[in-house]
């Protein structure tokens, strides 16, 4: 009786988007990922997009953040994971807010990005969509000075109430104000 040698397991094949490398620009990302739930949900709200290192980032206008959160929630993204900010000082728009949202069912993550100029540091709170954003928005307010309209209790969360300034801004003095 002849025996055959077992065939080795084939090497895993990366998905087409990851194999092609990073994709930049709304049109290119939305074309390459046309079947993605977040891409479908945000087709009318997105201003820019990128797919890099298996991470999808969709930029929306400041006035569309609540609608964008509602859209991805309706598309099956069920978990608000995190909100953070970046100060790109001295460039404008100066601040970028990144909302990380997860779908357990689809095993996918999307990052919603909003860019803010120094002159307009207010945008709508997403706590009506995801109440768990409450403390993240308070942290961004406390450390960067970005206001969230409609937030249920926008107060400092890390620094004392009488603290002057916002310590994670790049123009904040290293030793604080004296």
E strands along the chain, which residues?
23-24, 46-52, 55-60, 79-87, 95-103, 108-116, 122-124, 147-149
Mean pLDDT, rounded, for 79-107? 97
Residues 6+ positions from 55 with CB-CB distance below 8 Å: 109, 111
Mean pLDDT, rounded, for 96-110? 97
pLDDT digits (tens, 9 = 90+) for 48-59: 999 999 999 999
Q: Is the pLDDT of residue 72 over 60?
A: yes
Question: Percent of the chain scored above 70 by pLDDT?
Answer: 87
pTM of this structure:
0.87
Looking at residue 121, its pLDDT comes to 96
Looking at residue 175, its pLDDT comes to 76
């Amino acid at each position: 009786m002849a025996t055959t040698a077992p065939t080795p397991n084939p090497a895993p094949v990366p998905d087409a988007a990851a194999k092609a490398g990073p994709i930049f620009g709304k049109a290119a990302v939305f074309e390459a990922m046309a079947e993605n739930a977040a891409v479908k949900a945000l087709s009318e709200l997105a201003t820019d997009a990128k797919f890099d290192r298996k991470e999808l980032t969709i930029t929306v206008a400041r006035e569309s953040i609540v609608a964008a959160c509602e859209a991805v929630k309706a598309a099956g993204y069920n978990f608000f994971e995190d909100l953070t900010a970046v100060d790109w000082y001295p460039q404008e728009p100066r601040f970028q807010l990144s909302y990380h949202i997860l779908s357990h069912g689809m095993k996918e993550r999307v990052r919603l990005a909003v860019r803010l100029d120094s002159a307009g540091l207010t945008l709508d709170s997403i706590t009506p969509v995801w109440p768990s954003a409450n403390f993240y928005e308070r942290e961004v307010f406390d450390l960067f000075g970005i206001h969230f309209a409609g937030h249920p209790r926008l107060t400092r969360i890390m620094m004392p109430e009488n603290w002057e300034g916002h310590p994670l801004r790049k123009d904040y003095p290293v030793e604080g104000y004296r």
